[in-house]
Structure 1
Amino acid sequence: MGAASQRAGWNRLPLRAAAFVVLTCATILGVSAWREWAARDAVLRGAEAEMANVARSLTQHAEDSLDLLDSGVVGVVSRLEVDGAGPATVTKLDKVLEARKTAIARINSVAIIDDQGNWLTSPGTIGSTLTDDGFFRYHQLSAKREAHVGRPVKNQEDGQWVVTLSRRFNKPDGSFGGVVLATISANYLSHFYEQFEIGRNSAVALVHGDGMIIARNPSNDKFVGRNVADTPLFRDASLQRPGGAYHFRSPLDGAERVSFFKRSSRYPLVLLATVDKDELLAPWREAAISRMLYVVALVLMIAIIGAVLVRQLQRGQRMAAALTEKEAHFRLLAEGSSDMVTRIGLDERLRYVSPSSVRVVGWRANQLIGTPALAGINPEDLLQVQAIVDAMKRGEKEEARLVYRNAHQENGEVWLESTMRVTRKDNGRVDGVVAISRDITEHKKLETRLETLAIEDSLTGLANRRRFDERLKEEWARAYRDRSSLALLMIDVDHFKSYNDEYGHPAGDACLRLVAQIIAAETQRPGDLAARYGGEEFAMLLPNTDAAGCARIGDRIRRAIREAGLVHTTNHATGYVTASLGGAACRPVLERTAGVVSLVEAADRALYTAKEAGRNRLMMSGEVASLMAKASGQ
């Protein structure tokens, strides 16, 4: 017993020595790596704290600047509502506003606009008629009296970008009297941000709540006006909080950045202060590399000494132990694995099959041994698998991984994933292939479901906006190549918000599903696409369709929605749910300077005109152009 115990201890000695060497090396490397990573985290935390201070300061500056503008705007609104908007009052206010603009550098312009969108004072920055501008329409349609901070707009006179703050003033009878507008130049904000030296490649950006950049330093002229609403800062639910650290790769310049964002509590503003991550970590990286080189050199020295010791201990027992261990391991893995292990001979027949074959393909091992290895593979996948097996038999491939369909005794057909590896004789010649196969049917089903969810609107079952945008580009390119036409219908449910308010959101969802079914019923060709464009708005893409065909389909949809008879008491015109439609058709090959956006814009303008004309109607973009031409002729 004593001799047997001594031999067992001797046999385990190389393993113990190797384990000690590995543990020593791993401990040294682990401790060093942890220390360096902790130093890196400290650098990042310091940068986050610095960015937080900058973001808070600049957010306060932006709020103070808007408060300054708003104080002047409030005074002008009060004077207009007390004294009226007559020429005498406007003349006095114009002088006061000009003096205020001259005295305060951050004020770009202050102006008064009447209820028709005409300037009552000097326009100064944006244009002469603002009927179609967002902030004017906002106040025209909304009775709210608070300040409205609009998206940045471009100065038509000098090309500069400005951010607007406006308030509505009312006539004595309480109706809409016009707008008092004040602006701050994006260049002013950008120049102010230059005072903050936070790094050579740092950046500070003020962004509107809807994702449009208001001002940025550096490269303000390059990036102001760009929309970044599709970035995680605006999409991820985890980032929709008042402020916090934010690590990201900038969509503007491609740099990986460490930042802090701060959302204004009073205005639709987001301040993002960032520093280039590579620049920030460069000093740490240089020092860490130097220190780790010393550590690696020490570990290598220990590893070499340990390897020599282990080799000396193993020399007398390596070959016999390796052969025994190899056979034992193969049996253990093959018999105990939940995956099916098979060995395929050069004649492509199964020489060995593990017991798990019952679970994977439904047949017992003794039923499969000696049968053709590729017999159960789906004919559509057989050529690919056969080609790989042939290449492995010729020695051209050492290993391969394949996914294919295979017959199952009870379930008909399953998806298998097989990892194959060549086996060789002592002389190096190939003598077969070992394959490890697993059932991935559920995984494939999940992949199919995820692919469907990625392109389908969950409420209506129609294509979602992402799928619509992809198909629009594809069909535009196809129509351009084929010199064919492409049509688009934009469909909007009339007064849907009031329907939701009246009947509740479940009824609103049911209404949208009904409209979606009516639209889907018109997608009679394989190339047609019906999509939910957003909210209560739908889109229908009609390849190889001219304006007349588009109008026919649109009118059928409009009548079908009306004839569905869904009661809508707040739709005073009909008492039922109706829809407005805008259509457009074009031949892309004839519009070389236009793009896919031009078709969407044309259909959207037609939809807007249909709404303006009373809703429950279809307008084609050609009709809109004719009406505009007639109006300009008059």
Structure 2
Amino acid sequence: MVLPTVGDTVSMCSCALLLPAVLLALLAVLITTVASVRQEHENHVGTGRVRDQDLVASYVHELAFVADVDGWLRYVSPAGTASLGLHPDDLVGYGWRQRLHSDDLDHVTAAFERMTLGDPTVECTARVRHTDGTWRWYATRLGTGGIAGRTPDRIIGVAHDITASIVRQHWLEHTNAELEHVAATDALTGLPNRRRLDEVRRATWAQARRNSEPISMLVIDIDNLKAYNDRYGHDAGDRCLVTVARTVAAALRRATDVAARYGGEEFVVVLPSTTSDGARRVAESLRDAVRAGALPHAGVSAGIVTVSVGVATTTPDREDDGSLFTRADAALYRAKERGRDRVETAPPIPGSR
């Protein structure tokens, strides 16, 4: 057997002496903790009757409330009302509808009615007015406080402030919409760009195929734009492009008609459900509108900016979208060859309208 050394003996004695001190310290901490809890409890007890809902609500930062089935508030949690800049006394005894956004009244009222008809829980989202005049979004879960099997006599609700999430969601939606708009828009003219034009052409073609309808396309070119740039400068040339683009877009009468910048000084107009005669009339109206703008161009005999237009019409069972564009583009070049400032129509595909 190994006997303890003098050093071991001293160490064990030291531990024996320290143990009561450690226990006393732990006991002191425990007494302090119990006293703290008791004092907190007494603060809630007040006159000796504990208000359980206040005791629970003091630990909850949500907006908790109790309302009767007619909508009058019986109880509102202090922490929850503080998030609206209010005190419970500002709400208790009043109807919950008074601070609700008018657009949300109907569906929240319907949620309360569902509770009275027996639904155990109902969820709804609504805006509540803050004292500073702004609106806070709350996601609310409702339950009944009545006895099982009887008509509920009160509605209990817990509402979570989701304003930050809603604002973030709206910001993201707005940002995404802006990005999508930028990605589909020509930066100079504001018209749909080539990417967006391709989407429109595919969608219009699919619709025409489903409905067995004709589809027409115009290809428009500003006459002598190079000479315009040489005489007036490229900044003026850009302004000329913008002016013609706005004129073309304004001359279209139907919401389904789409004008886009194809590239350079060329524009394309897609005309759903439009026959060859109808497309020709649209093309002539566009040409006339540009002439009526009377944008000076001293470098040409007309003295003003003009456009040439190629027109083609088909039905999807006769050719594809690419072929339709090719024929409209070929018609444009014939207009150029025949003197500019004119409309030329591509020969019809047999069977097209």
1:366 to 76, 85, 90: 90
Q: Which residue of 2 aligns with 1:56?
A: none
Question: What corresponds to 1:157 in structure 2?
Answer: none
Deviations 1:152-199 (A, max 9, x none): xxxxxxxxxxxxxxxxxxxxxxxxxxxxxxxxxxxxxxxxxxxxxxxx
Contact 1:344 1:434 in 2 (8 A): no
Q: Could you report, residue by residue, the CA deviation over 1:274-303 in whole angstroms, capped at 9, with x for unpaired residues?
A: xxxxxxxxxxxxxxxxxxxxxxxxxxxxxx
State the partner residue of 1:622. Answer: 347
CA contact (8 A) 1:348 1:373 kept: no
Counterpart secondary structure, 1:372: helix
Please state whether the residue corresponding to 2:198 is helix, strand or coil: helix
Amino acid in the other structure paired with 1:330: V
Structure 1 pair 6–375 and aligned structure 2 pair: CA distance change class (3 A): closer
Tell me the CA shift for residue 4 of structure 1: 7.8
1:169-568 residue pairs with structure 2 within 5 A?
327-331=57-61, 334=62, 341=63, 343=65, 347=69, 349=71, 352=76, 354-357=81-84, 366=90, 370-372=95-97, 376-378=101-103, 382=106, 386=110, 390=114, 394=119, 418-421=138-141, 431-438=156-163, 440=167, 443=171, 449-450=178-179, 452-568=181-297
Q: 1:504: how far off?
A: 2.7
Identify the residue that residue 578 of structure 1 maps to in structure 2. 306
Give 1:537 deviation, angstroms: 1.7
Confirm or deny: 8 A CA contact 1:529 1:541 kept in the other structure: yes
Question: 1:515 offset after TM fit, Å?
Answer: 0.5
Question: Does the CA contact (< 8 Å) of 1:417 and 1:440 recur in 2?
Answer: no
Q: For the residues of structure 1 that align with 2:113 and 2:178, how far apart are their CA atoms?
A: 31
The count of corresponding residues between Structure 1 and Structure 2 is: 290
- Residue deviations 1:469-520 (CA, integer Å, cap 9, x gap): 3332222222233332221111121232443343233312211121022112
Deviations 1:326-367, CA, capped at 9 Å, x for gaps: 744423xx5xxxxxx5657584846545344469xxxx9936
Q: Does 1:608 align with 2:333?
A: yes
The amino acid across from 1:518 in the alignment is T
**Alpha-carbon distance in 2 for matches of 1:515, 1:583:** 18
- Distance change >3 Å, CA 408–CA 420, structure 1 → 2: closer
Rounded to whole Å, the distance in 1 between the matches of 2:108 and 2:195 is 33
Q: Answer 1 or 2: higher relative contact order, Cα 8 Å, separation at least 6.
A: 2
**2:8 counterpart residue number:** none
TM-score, scaled relative to structure 2: 0.62
- 1:354/1:365 contact within 8 Å kept: no
Shift of the 10–389 alpha-carbon distance from structure 1 to 2, 3 Å rule, reads same
Deviation, 1:377, is 4.6
Confirm whether residue 597 of structure 1 aligns to residue 322 of structure 2. yes
Q: CA deviation at 1:604?
A: 2.1
Structure 1 residues 587 and 510: alpha-carbon distance in aligned structure 2, compared to 1, 3 A threshold: same
CA distance in 2, matches of 1:385, 1:499: 66
- Unaligned stretches of 5+ residues in structure 1: 12-322, 335-340, 627-634
Query: Is contact 2:215–2:315 with CA below 8 Å preserved after alignment?
Result: yes
The amino acid that maps onto 1:538 is F
- Secondary structure, in 3 states, of the residue corresponding to 1:513? helix
**1:558–1:375 distance in 2 versus 1, CA, 3 Å:** same
Other structure's SS at 1:432 match: strand
Please tell me whether Structure 1 or Structure 2 has the larger radius of gyration of its CA atoms. Answer: 2
Q: Which runs of 5+ in 2 are unaligned?
A: 1-23, 35-52
CA separation of 1:432 and 1:327: change in aligned 2, threshold 3 A = closer
The CA RMSD over aligned residues, in Å, is: 4.7
What is the deviation of 1:9?
10
TM-score (norm 1): 0.37
Counterpart CA distance in 1 for 2:85 and 2:261 is: 47
2: distance between equivalents of 1:465 and 1:405? 42
Counterparts of 1:410 and 1:464, CA distance in 2: 45
